[in-house]
Amino acid sequence: MRTDLLARLATHTQQRDQAGLRRRLHTVTRADGMWVERDGRRLLSFCSNDYLGLAQHPVLVDALKRAADTDGVGSGSAHLICGHRSAHAALEEALAEWTGRERALLFSTGYMANLGVMQALLQRDDVCVQDKLNHACLLDGAQLAGAELKRYPHGDIEAASRQLTARPDAGALLATDGVFSMDGDIAPLRELAVLCHHENATLMVDDAHGLGVLGARGEGSVTDAGLSARDVPVLMATLGKALGCSGAFVAGSAELIDGLVQSARTYIYTTAMPPALATATLAAVRLAQSEGWRREKLGTLIARFRAGASQLGLPLMPSPTAIQPLLLGDTAAALTASEALEREGFLVTAIRPPTVPQGKARLRITLSASHEEGDVDRLLDALSRLPTARPV
């Protein structure tokens, strides 16, 4: 008898529910900086990726409104038909200059950017070597491209080297997150660049959580590591985290971007982002570059939180970034902790398998330049009263 696909999916959902892993949507009815209203309650959010506090900045809002008055809402077409507007071109030029690349190319989302890059670069006889903790879209991109996917233990340069040398004649792409989204630590980019140079492999960095936050002008983890476009020829970053907008881009040589325009299906066959959004994003880029105090304040808040968590003996993972994971191990413990914090007025999401490995459930606490020192202190006080927040 043929399998009923909908019934099979329903069974899978039921199994996730029984294991405490069911994902649920909660609607935010209002947002005011880091404060949100959800399910009738006003909560202070510590789970947003709005690291620089730009998502509701009046300069961005005004830029969006003004551009919408002129350009309307939707772009109406894919970039290659008639959807590519002057706002898109201006944003691409600014992103290329900011990251020190010849050119940049806009994509609708980071997921689509990574899928498009890998589908364009990789073939079935190639090998794609990746950190085990890479974002899901990097893993999916390699698999959909049909290349052999080889994953090395997190941050293990020697293991990455062994995987590359095992296929000496294959075309090779080594892809890594710049800042790992669930652990908050930074990839050993310098060592990976040396390895790729030695093995004649192409290095790609997904800097979704580094752009805007790391580097003297927010250029990201690659520049912060002292690396150039030659060291990291393929750079992807998103526009919906530190920049507070939406979308993504790939930056690199003119040759790379020309190739993506010809071959990246997720670029070719997708409607271009709204031009008004591109205008707002350009405003966000300018603010991120010029207002270094936002990064400085964020750094101060990170240091304050880590110092307080250390004094309390909380099981905080070693992260120097705005992503501060509190490792609780057990799924039920993570859910209980999240619910207890919500009762005290904080929104901190529990992260569970399969997003993280089994036994590694956690609270993924994220800090923003929109937080104040008093907010951090109140969160630490609430965490100190959680019975589940003990070393695992």
- Domain 58-290 belongs to what topology? Aspartate Aminotransferase; domain 2 (3.40.640)
Residue 179: pLDDT above 80? Answer: yes
Region 249-256 average pLDDT: 98
Looking at residue 380, its pLDDT comes to 97
pLDDT band at 392 (very low <50, low <70, confident <90, very high): very low
Looking at residue 378, its pLDDT comes to 97
Region 127-137 average pLDDT: 97
pLDDT band at 174 (very low <50, low <70, confident <90, very high): very high
The b-or-e profile of 139-167 (16+ CB within 10 A means b, else e) is bebbeebebbbbbbeebeeebbbebbeeb
Rounded to an integer, what distance in angstroms lies between the CA atom of residue 204 and that of residue 139? 13
- Average pLDDT of the residues of the chain: 95
Residue 262: pLDDT above 60? Answer: yes
Rounded to an integer, what distance in angstroms lies between the CA atom of residue 52 and that of residue 58? 14
Looking at residue 226, its pLDDT comes to 97
Candidate list 79, 88, 150, 241, residue with the active-site label: 241
371 counts as catalytic: no
Rounded to an integer, what distance in angstroms lies between the CA atom of residue 110 and that of residue 391? 34
pLDDT band at 390 (very low <50, low <70, confident <90, very high): low
Residue 263: pLDDT above 80? Answer: yes
State the pTM of this model: 0.94
- Domain 25-52+292-384 belongs to what topology? Aspartate Aminotransferase, domain 1 (3.90.1150)
Q: What percent of the chain has pLDDT over 90?
A: 90
Residue 304: pLDDT above 80? Answer: yes
181 counts as catalytic: yes
Of 357, 292, 303, 324, the closest CA to residue 179 belongs to: 324
Candidate list 88, 135, 150, 209, residue with the active-site label: 209
Region 311-327 average pLDDT: 96
Let me know if 170 is exposed, middle or buried by CB neighbors in 10 A (0-12, 13-18, 19+).
middle
pLDDT band at 239 (very low <50, low <70, confident <90, very high): very high
Region 37-51 average pLDDT: 94
Condensed to tens digits (0 to 9), the pLDDT of residues 338-386 reads 999 999 999 999 998 988 988 899 999 999 999 999 999 999 999 999 8
Residue 159: pLDDT above 50? Answer: yes
* Cβ–Cβ < 8 Å for 140, 266: no
Instruction: Name the pairing type of β-strands 350-351 and 234-238.
Output: unpaired
Condensed to tens digits (0 to 9), the pLDDT of residues 82-131 reads 999 999 999 999 999 999 999 999 999 999 999 999 999 999 999 999 99
Candidate list 45, 181, 246, 319, residue with the active-site label: 181
Domain boundaries, the chain: 25-52+292-384, 58-290
